[in-house]
Structures are given as structure tokens and as C-alpha cells.
């Protein structure tokens, strides 16, 4: 039995942040949060990678976190993206998020300056020591250039403030090793939509999802079917949505999901540089798949 309570179980949407050239579109953002909760999503992640946290100003980042926590008003667990390659800044932002009502913090590995495994341990322990809410570590080496090794997870699992992992290294063999070394002490969430059910099958607690921006009810149901023992039903949903998942990652996230959400009426298809709108050929494939699911005409 694990010694820490899961922050959530099921599907958490790594939510987009609706933006315009003038700034954050809070009217759309508020409606989007309400819709996600009404559709039955299990948790929300605010200002992570999909939420373009890396190009929000510090003032905007804090305002977005405060607004989203207030709008959700305790209806679902709320997780704040507070990672940075500057540990002191991550500490400060994490303290802020704890203070405005978040249930947990999603902290990505440091990017560009990177770190050794020793550096990762010291960074995460420093942030966890300063925070009053649990950390979910975020491992995405394709974006950051640094990978958390299974033995490092085991060492970090000893900290009472480190509760889980969003694992997006894509290497199922390494993920199995992490389950073997630390799965009894860390809740492991898939960070890749195409690996959600395989990670659930290893004992994972759910997925932190891009797909669920578009299909919150269905992504949550895929997890729920698994937990209720309907493995075949869960697997069928994983396979059914694989083409749409692939289209949502045909360009760097969140470029495709921003296009998809704009097409569904959730704000403008606007991204901040260096991100640019989706290429037309990829967009056509994405929209055709969305039409096939009955999402658009």
C-alpha cells in the first residue's frame, strides 16, 4: 500500500490558456474550466506546457493561476505548473500556487541548463521543502534534454512532499523499472496520451492529458473503465482515439490542440512566438479526424 494519497485518479486535462494579442482571454478561460468540470474531468493542470506557461509573463502566470483556482472553486483537484530552470523562481511560484488554493504542483525538470541526477534530487527536494502541497514531478526529456532515472525516482520517493510523477519519457521499459523501484511510493501518471492504458495496466493512477482538452468526458471514461475492470473497453478507447492523439502531436504541443480548441469555439488560434499556428496539411488531417468523431461539421 502506498503511503501517500493520490492527488487525483483518472484523467487530468493539461489545459490550454486562451490567448489573444492583448493577453489572456479570461472570459473564454472561465467558460472552458466550467465545461471541463461539467464534462466530468477528474482534475485540471493550469499553466503547464499545454497552457503555454513558458511564455506567460510572471504577472500573467500568477494571475492565470489565481483566476483558475477561483473559478474551479474546489470542484476538482487543481494542479499548478510551477517548474522552471531557475530553482529559486520555481520555489517562489510554488509557494504562490499553494497560497491561492492549488492541491498540487507539477514541476518539470530543468531545461537548457539541465542537471545531473544529483542536481535533480537537490532541486526537487528544495522545492518540496518550501511547498505546503505535494509535488508531481514532470519528466519529458524530449523537451528538456534531461531524464529522471528510475533510481532517482526511488531516492525522491523518500520525501514526504513528493507524491507522484507525470512520466513522458516514452520508454516503457524504463517506466516499468520505475514502477519496480518506486511504484509503491509514487503515483505514476502517463504524460503521453498514447500510453495511458499501458501505464494504467502497470498500476498507474491515470493520465495528464492533451486529448482531454478536446474529449474530457471520453478520456476520463477510458480511465474509469479500466478502474472498474472493463479492460477491453478501456483498451478499445485507447485504440479508437490513437489517430486523433497522433494528430494532436503532429506538431509540437500545444500547436495542434490550440488549433483544435479554436475550431471548437474555445478562443482564438493564437500562440506566442516561438510557437506558430499549425501547418495547413496537418490541420486538415486533424480537422478531418475531429469531424469523424462528430466534434465539428
Find the catalytic residue in 102, 138, 153, 189.
138
DSSP per-residue letters across 4-68? S--S-SEEEEE----EETTEE-HHHHHHHHHHHHHTT-SEEEESSTTTTGGGS-HHHHHHHHHHH
User: Do strands 19-20 and 104-108 pair parallel, antiparallel, or not at all (unpaired)?
Assistant: unpaired
Residue 41's alpha-carbon distances to 10, 125, 182, 233, 269, in angstroms, are: 8, 30, 27, 18, 23
pLDDT at position 80 is: 98
The answer to whether residue 100 is domain-embedded is: yes
Q: Domain of 111: which CATH number?
A: 3.20.20.70
Find the catalytic residue in 102, 133, 153, 166.
166
Structural domain count of the chain: 1
The answer to whether residue 289 is domain-embedded is: no
pLDDT at position 144 is: 95
The answer to whether residue 19 is domain-embedded is: yes
pLDDT at position 3 is: 52
Residue 134 belongs to what domain range? 10-230
The answer to whether residue 214 is domain-embedded is: yes
pLDDT at position 253 is: 98
The answer to whether residue 217 is domain-embedded is: yes
The answer to whether residue 275 is domain-embedded is: no
- In DSSP terms, 19 is beta-bridged to 24
pLDDT at position 5 is: 83
Over its C-alpha atoms, the chain yields an Rg (Å, rounded) of 18
Sign (positive or negative) of CA dihedral 283, 286, 292, 297: negative
The three three-digit cell numbers of residue 203, written as one number = 498500476
pLDDT per residue of the chain (297 residues) written in tens, 0 to 9: 355 689 999 999 999 999 999 999 999 999 999 999 999 999 999 999 999 999 999 999 999 999 999 999 999 999 999 999 999 999 999 999 999 999 999 999 999 999 999 999 999 999 999 999 999 999 999 999 999 999 999 999 999 999 999 999 999 999 999 999 999 999 999 999 999 999 999 999 999 999 999 999 999 999 999 999 999 999 999 999 999 999 999 999 999 999 999 999 999 999 999 999 999 999 999 999 999 999 998
pLDDT at position 297 is: 87
166 is catalytic: yes
At 119 the three-state DSSP class reads: helix
pLDDT at position 1 is: 38
pLDDT at position 210 is: 98
The answer to whether residue 245 is domain-embedded is: no
The answer to whether residue 109 is domain-embedded is: yes
Residue 68's alpha-carbon distances to 3, 74, 91, 140, in angstroms, are: 29, 10, 20, 24
Amino acid at each position: 500500500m502506498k503511503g501517500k494519497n493520490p492527488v487525483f485518479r483518472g484523467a487530468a486535462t493539461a489545459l490550454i490558456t486562451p490567448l489573444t494579442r492583448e493577453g489572456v482571454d479570461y472570459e473564454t478561460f472561465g467558460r472552458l474550466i466550467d465545461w471541463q468540470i461539467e464534462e466530468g474531468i477528474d482534475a485540471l493542470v493550469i499553466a503547464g506546457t499545454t497552457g503555454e506557461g513558458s511564455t506567460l509573463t510572471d504577472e500573467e502566470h500568477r494571475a492565470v493561476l489565481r483566476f483558475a483556482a477561483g473559478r474551479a472553486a474546489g470542484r476538482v483537484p487543481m494542479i499548478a505548473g510551477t517548474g522552471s530552470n531557475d530553482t529559486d523562481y520555481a520555489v517562489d511560484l510554488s509557494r504562490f500556487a499553494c497560497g491561492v488554493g492549488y492541491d498540487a504542483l507539477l514541476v518539470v525538470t530543468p531545461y537548457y541548463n539541465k542537471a545531473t541526477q544529483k542536481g535533480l534530487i537537490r532541486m526537487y527536494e528544495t522545492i518540496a521543502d518550501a511547498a505546503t502541497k505535494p509535488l508531481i514531478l514532470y519528466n519529458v526529456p524530449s523537451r528538456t534534454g534531461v531524464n529522471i532515472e528510475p533510481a532517482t525516482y526511488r531516492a525522491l520517493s523518500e520525501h514526504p512532499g513528493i507524491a507522484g510523477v507525470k512520466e513522458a519519457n516514452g520508454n516503457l521499459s524504463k517506466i516499468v523499472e520505475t514502477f519496480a523501484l518506486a511504484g509503491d511510493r509514487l503515483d505514476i501518471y502517463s504524460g503521453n496520451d498514447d500510453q495511458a492504458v499501458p501505464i494504467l495496466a502497470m498500476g498507474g493512477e491515470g493520465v495528464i492529458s492533451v486529448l482531454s482538452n478536446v474529449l474530457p468526458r471520453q478520456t476520463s471514461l477510458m480511465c474509469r473503465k479500466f478502474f472498474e475492470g472493463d479492460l477491453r473497453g478501456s483498451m478499445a478507447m485507447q485504440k479508437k482515439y490513437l489517430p486523433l492523439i497522433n494528430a494532436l502531436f503532429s506538431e509540437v504541443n500545444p500547436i495542434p490542440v490550440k488549433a483544435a480548441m479554436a475550431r471548437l469555439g474555445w478562443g482564438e488560434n493564437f500562440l506566442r512566438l516561438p510557437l506558430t499556428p499549425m501547418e495547413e496539411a496537418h490541420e486538415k488531417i486533424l480537422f478531418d479526424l475531429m469531424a469523424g468523431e462528430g466534434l465539428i461539421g
